[in-house]
Structure 1
Amino acid sequence: MEEYLKETALLDFSHPFIQDLIERQAWRNMAEFDRLKAIYDFVRNDILFGYNESDGIPASKILSDGFGQCNTKGILFMALLRGCGIPCRMHGFTIDKQLQKGAMTGFVYRNAPQEILHSWVEVYFEEIWYELEGFILDDGYLKRLQNTFPDCRGAFCGYGAATAYFQHPKVAFNRSNTYIQSEGIVQDLGAYPSPDEFFLRHRQELSAVKEWLYCHLGRHLMNRNIRKIRGKG
């Protein structure tokens, strides 16, 4: 398990921001299940769903941003887990861009690659590897999204969600796998000991120009669309 507890450049859990948070939350003083659940719930709801400047940024920066998406919230989740002695790894995928439709609109959606890098976190607890993806959308955003589409009672794909159970997705952790985007998966890229190794092997297929446009314009438009959803009751 040592490999799944190491600090890396992206999982920078010794950073003062991370250590201060762990101390304030007193996670190390909790029983292991309570610690895991508390960290999961923190990343799910205290770190809002939104789009950072890129995938490959360290956990301390994601915590400072206060928001993230699948890959970045996963990086923060892993750093907090390892900082509290809980082994974890990253499992990489690609997802169909249709999952992002609504968050992505207009020219941003048209110019996005058909398949987008995605990941969830696998946590080793009580001799079981749990697949945890349900932390990506915070409860506030998810409930607003459900209220925006009240007639959808089955599967839903869009606005950052891809689930077979839109009104009752499996997002709460209670010794169970959790999912919120898994129905949009196209390719399985395998499990990696750290996000550093995953991003070393896999990069989003964007030209330098498109990468710059995403960082400086596209993600801001996407975050604006998310704020619009949050404003709906």
Structure 2
Amino acid sequence: MSLTPTPTSDRLTDYLAADAVIDHEHPSIRDRVEALRPKTDNPVERAKAAYLFVRDEIDHVIDACDPRVTWRASDVLRERVGICHAKSHLLAALLRAQGIPAGFCYQELSALHGLNAVYLHGKWSRLDARGNRTGARGEFSLAEEKLAWPVDPANGERDLPEIHPAPAKTVVDFLIMAEPGPGWYENGLPAAL
């Protein structure tokens, strides 16, 4: 069951901002946006190209058994790997670099799962570019929500409706402090906001 995503800010400009994490002004982010640009200037097609790139071309650390830790969008792009939160940082940067408002959403599963929301056609839609290995089923869809993982309320899982203009501080702090190595994400990844 999908929910209605709710922005925590009324200013769309907040969902276009660059910062130390969503460094969409970095030359590598700008270059990737140009490389991904479809022949049409349709914002939906541009958003879909960015989404598919992050979902399919950036490895999820768990699926890849990769010991690296990334958190800044340009670093995720350079290393081509990241946990769900890092992948959401890159997707937001690629969207914002094109003038497409993007925010951050969360699900409380066995650990806090990060995904995005995008503002197109006058409404917010959640997108989950986690990657579709190991049973995940995320798809690009602005009509029907197709996230990587369904929430199971019977197991205490929750879908959080808020769309944040910046990644959660608790997530960013965890990623910055994480020591690279096998299973680094198993020790301290937040379970809730």
Structures share fold, TM-score greater than 0.5: yes
2:87 alignment partner in structure 1: 73
Tell whether 2:130 aligns with 1:130.
no
Alignment deviations for residues 144-181 of structure 1 (CA, whole Å, 9 cap, x no partner): x46xxxxxxxxxxxxxx4xxxxxxx4x33242322112
Identify which of 169, 193, 200 aligns with 2:165: 193
In structure 2, the CA distance between the partners of 1:199 and 1:29, relative to structure 1 (3 Å rule), is farther
TM-score by length of 1: 0.61
Given that 1:49 and 1:137 are in contact with CA atoms closer than 8 Å, whether structure 2 keeps it comes out as yes
Alpha-carbon distance between aligned partners in 2 of 1:28 and 1:117, rounded to the nearest angstrom:
37
Alpha-carbon distance between aligned partners in 2 of 1:88 and 1:29, rounded to the nearest angstrom:
20
Tell whether 2:18 aligns with 1:4.
no
Given that 1:94 and 1:188 are in contact with CA atoms closer than 8 Å, whether structure 2 keeps it comes out as yes
Question: How many residue pairs were aligned?
Answer: 164
1:50 alignment partner in structure 2: 61
Structure 1 portions without partners, runs of 5+: 97-115, 147-160, 162-168, 222-233
1:103 alignment partner in structure 2: none
Tell whether 2:150 aligns with 1:182.
yes
Which is higher, the Rg of structure 1 or of structure 2?
A: 1
Q: CA deviation at 1:15?
A: 0.8
Alignment deviations for residues 114-166 of structure 1 (CA, whole Å, 9 cap, x no partner): xx222210111101110112x2114xxx3xx46xxxxxxxxxxxxxx4xxxxx
Identity of aligned residues (%): 27
SS at match of 1:20: helix
Matched AA of 2:183 = G
Tell whether 2:102 aligns with 1:88.
yes
Alignment deviations for residues 167-220 of structure 1 (CA, whole Å, 9 cap, x no partner): xx4x3324232211232672455431111xx1258865xxx8xx54xx223249
In structure 2, the CA distance between the partners of 1:202 and 1:72, relative to structure 1 (3 Å rule), is closer
Given that 2:15 and 2:103 are in contact with CA atoms closer than 8 Å, whether structure 1 keeps it comes out as yes
User: If each structure's helix is expressed as a fraction of its own residues, which one has the higher value?
Assistant: 1
Q: CA deviation at 1:26?
A: 2.8
Given that 1:27 and 1:84 are in contact with CA atoms closer than 8 Å, whether structure 2 keeps it comes out as no
1:216 alignment partner in structure 2: 181
1:173 alignment partner in structure 2: 140
SS at match of 1:42: helix
Given that 2:68 and 2:81 are in contact with CA atoms closer than 8 Å, whether structure 1 keeps it comes out as no
1:25 alignment partner in structure 2: 36
